[in-house]
């Protein structure tokens, strides 16, 4: 089977999937944007990201091409709704890539910037190849007032509903996104629930989990946290929609009930922290029991998750939330808001607590209840390890192959 991937750089975790398809004998082709190093409007290459990866690639410059004169009316009409991009031009380039590679299936790695133009091509009869699209969160969620997703104007509603109606197979990363697709009029028979694969090789998680005790001691010693203290961790980009400010509001109550509690606030120091998080702490109990890690990467990320008794995910609006999966992979359960797609897994596997997003009192009570029951934390930790089977790379890949086969049969 020859698969054309549209814009796989839209999500950084997609390249390993392309590599796995190649390893399993599939032919992989790519259409991708590029501005730097482009002498013309198109550039063809025999590889994608690594020399020898065998992925034929058509690079294109979004701002070049005489065809833009022809697509100008459509581009202008949808410019604001399509996030300043040229909708008509992108439809043109997608059709050109399909003619160039003659794929058996086309896969859009995000449900907006490429799935919309591809879906419109399909609906207008200009694309006959089976079309598959992945929906990861912000592409269909309407949480723009929280800094996440897109504001659903009537024109955007029309674009999304029209494109979704003509896509042969839709990949939703979680139950909540599947529900959003149904709300947009998707045929339930065309929706498959396929999450993102875990971000590192399974052996990395296994190693951190096996050394969980050492990780707890090393991280706590580094931050001056007593080894026997009760520790919670948050790990995010720390902007408004992640809801860390809600935990800052709940923190005084948590400390009152659990005086030995500490909070590892991991992730980059986003400007929102100085604006909306630190002032809440400084006006109440201060930051004496809060430790900042700054940006983490690779194994140190998982070690900091393993060092805590509890991961807290207070997001206000999100697609899946892979941090909760990473935490589960190293045995750390989560208190999670119901605004994250991962909440459905937490409920199904009974490996943490779920509360109503934005309800600070409910968050406070959930964290206190979790920290107050070490035996329950231990039971959750074991069930966390069972949950991650759904996110193993081999399981995700098998589901994707099934998804493409379904799309081909539907044709």
Same domain? For 237 and 345 the reply is yes
Same domain? For 210 and 310 the reply is yes
Same domain? For 160 and 225 the reply is no
How many angstroms separate the CA atoms of 108 and 115, rounded? 5
Same domain? For 8 and 156 the reply is yes
Same domain? For 228 and 286 the reply is yes
Same domain? For 230 and 373 the reply is yes
pLDDT tens across 254-269, in order?
999 999 999 999 999 9
Q: What was the pLDDT predicted at 99?
A: 97
Q: What was the pLDDT predicted at 16?
A: 86
For strand 191-193 and strand 142-143, is the pairing parallel, antiparallel, or unpaired? unpaired
List the Cα angle 103/34/23 in 5-degree steps: 45
Residue with tokens 């694969």: 197
Please determine, for residue 138, whether its predicted confidence score (pLDDT) is greater than 90.
no
Tell me, rounded to whole angstroms, the distance of Cα 349 from its chain centroid: 20
Region 363-390: what's the mean pLDDT? 95
Same domain? For 169 and 210 the reply is no
pLDDT tens across 206-244, in order?
999 999 999 999 999 999 999 999 999 999 999 999 999
Please determine, for residue 116, whether its predicted confidence score (pLDDT) is greater than 80.
yes
Full domain range(s) for residue 282: 202-390
List the Cα angle 65/58/133 in 5-degree steps: 100
Same domain? For 278 and 353 the reply is yes
Q: What was the pLDDT predicted at 411?
A: 66
Collapsing DSSP states into helix, strand and coil, what is residue 43? Answer: strand
pLDDT tens across 65-84, in order?
999 999 999 999 999 999 99
Q: Please give the mean pLDDT across all residues of the chain.
A: 94
List the Cα angle 68/78/66 in 5-degree steps: 0
- Are 261 and 232 a contacting pair, CB within 8 Å? yes
Structural domain total, the chain:
2
Region 118-145: what's the mean pLDDT? 93
Same domain? For 38 and 181 the reply is yes
pLDDT tens across 307-352, in order?
999 999 999 999 999 999 999 999 999 999 999 999 999 999 999 9
CATH number at residue 224: 3.40.50.2000
Helices 393-410/15-23 angle, 10° precision = 70
Q: Which of 371, 365, 370, 374 is CA-nearest to residue 250? A: 365
Please determine, for residue 149, whether its predicted confidence score (pLDDT) is greater than 90.
no
How many angstroms separate the CA atoms of 328 and 318, rounded? 18
Region 348-376: what's the mean pLDDT? 97
How many angstroms separate the CA atoms of 181 and 170, rounded? 9
Same domain? For 255 and 145 the reply is no
Region 15-22: what's the mean pLDDT? 90
Please tell me which of 9-18, 36-45, 183-192 the model is most confident about, judged by mean pLDDT.
Answer: 183-192
pLDDT tens across 261-310, in order?
999 999 999 999 999 999 999 999 999 999 999 999 989 999 999 999 99
Same domain? For 366 and 404 the reply is no
Q: What was the pLDDT predicted at 6?
A: 97
Q: What was the pLDDT predicted at 12?
A: 65
* DSSP letter (8 states) at residue 197: P
Same domain? For 350 and 254 the reply is yes
Region 106-126: what's the mean pLDDT? 95
**What is the total residue count of the chain?**
411
Q: What was the pLDDT predicted at 10?
A: 84
Task: Count Cβ atoms below 10 Å from residue 95 Cβ, excluding itself.
Answer: 15
Q: 294 pairs with which residues across the strands?
A: 266, 267
């Amino acid at each position: 089977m020859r698969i054309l991937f549209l814009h796989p750089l839209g999500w950084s975790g997609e390249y390993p999937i392309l590599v796995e398809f190649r390893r399993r004998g599939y032919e992989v082709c790519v259409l991708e944007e590029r501005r730097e190093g482009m002498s013309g409007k198109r550039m063809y290459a025999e590889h994608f990201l690594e020399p020898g990866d065998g992925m034929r690639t058509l690079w294109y410059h979004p701002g070049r091409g005489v065809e833009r004169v022809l697509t100008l009316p459509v581009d202008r009409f949808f410019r604001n709704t399509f996030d300043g991009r040229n909708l008509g031009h992108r439809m043109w380039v997608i059709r050109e890539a399909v003619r160039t590679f003659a794929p058996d299936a086309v896969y859009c790695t995000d449900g907006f910037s490429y799935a919309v133009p591809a879906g419109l091509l399909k609906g207008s009869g200009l694309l006959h190849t089976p079309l598959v699209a992945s929906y990861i969160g912000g592409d269909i969620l309407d949480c723009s007032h929280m800094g996440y997703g897109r504001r659903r104007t009537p024109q955007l509603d029309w674009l999304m509903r029209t494109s979704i109606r003509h896509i042969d197979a839709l990949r939703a990363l979680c139950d909540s996104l599947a529900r959003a697709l149904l709300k947009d009029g998707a045929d339930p028979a065309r929706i498959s629930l396929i999450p993102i694969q875990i971000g590192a090789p399974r052996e990395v998680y296994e190693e951190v989990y096996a050394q969980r005790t050492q990780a707890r001691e090393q991280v706590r010693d580094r931050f001056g946290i007593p080894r026997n203290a009760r520790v919670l961790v948050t790990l995010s980009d720390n902007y408004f929609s992640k809801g860390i400010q809600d935990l800052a509001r709940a923190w005084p109550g948590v400390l009152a009930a659990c005086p030995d509690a500490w909070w590892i606030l991991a992730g980059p120091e986003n400007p929102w922290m100085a604006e909306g998080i630190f002032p809440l702490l400084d006006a109440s109990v201060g930051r004496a029991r809060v430790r900042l890690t700054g940006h983490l990467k690779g194994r140190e990320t998982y070690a900091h998750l393993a060092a805590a008794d509890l991961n807290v995910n207070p997001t206000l609006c999100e697609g899946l939330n892979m941090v909760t999966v990473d935490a589960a992979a190293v045995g750390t359960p989560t208190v999670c808001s119901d605004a994250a797609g991962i909440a459905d897994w937490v409920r199904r596997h009974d490996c943490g607590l779920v509360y109503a997003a934005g309800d600070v009192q409910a968050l406070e009570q959930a964290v206190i209840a979790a920290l107050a029951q070490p035996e329950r934390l231990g039971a959750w930790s074991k069930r966390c390890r069972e949950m991650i089977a759904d996110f193993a790379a081999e399981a995700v890949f098998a589901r994707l192959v099934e998804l493409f086969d379904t799309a081909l049969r539907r044709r």
